[in-house]
Amino acid sequence: MSDIAAGDLGSWFAPDELAQIRRRLPILYIDAVPVRVDADGAIESIALLLRTPREGGLQRALVSGRVMYHERIRDALARHLDKDLGPMALPKLPVSLVPFTVAEYFPTPGITPYHDPRQHAVSMAYIVPIDGDCQPQQDTLDITWLTPEEALNPGIQAEMVDGHGALLRSALSHTGRIV
């Protein structure tokens, strides 16, 4: 959930104003698990975003971001997929907006499998098949496509941020691909 750069909210809130609101209201997010599927719709691979956070090390993340004022969830999904995977990704957005899970990120760890030190965020999570080509954007170093088995490797899971590992496992379980 490292998507909120100055540019994302700056047009709406001054930084200290935003910081204040984040301590007082749950913030609405979407999470997207980008996947490639075979001709029958079964998941073949998952895209993980590779980043190097300011504090050093490597982090892997799913697509994630805030829903803006007066923005439809569908538009927020399209915007964040475009922002993180590039304009040629050709994501296939879901026909229904019922999420496969609702991830509650608390600033306090341990309440749910999800954690975000900056804020209380509630995220509706979707699995999104990708038909086109993905290019790393902005602060993303690389986009790695992993099979479900590879993505569940403990080394990879340990690099995933803020409960995105739990989110990925939940997505794979939901599709029956791995349980």
Chain residues in the site for a second copy (CB under 8 A): 12-13, 21, 23-28, 35, 37, 39-43, 67-75, 78, 92-102, 104, 106-108, 111-113, 120, 122, 124, 127, 129, 166-167, 169-170, 173-176, 178-179
How far, CA to CA in Å, does 110 sit from each of 84, 86, 152? 28, 34, 21
Place of tokens 């204040």: 20
Select 6 or 95, whichever has its Cβ closest to a second copy. 95
In whole angstroms, how close is the CB of 58 to a second copy at the nearest point?
Answer: 22
Contact call for residues 61 and 71 (beta carbons, < 8 A): no
Select 18 or 143, whichever has its Cβ closest to a second copy. 18
Query: Closest Cα to residue 90, out of 145, 134, 125, 49?
Result: 134
Select 21 or 158, whichever has its Cβ closest to a second copy. 21
In whole angstroms, how close is the CB of 56 to a second copy at the nearest point?
Answer: 28
Place of tokens 């609405």: 28
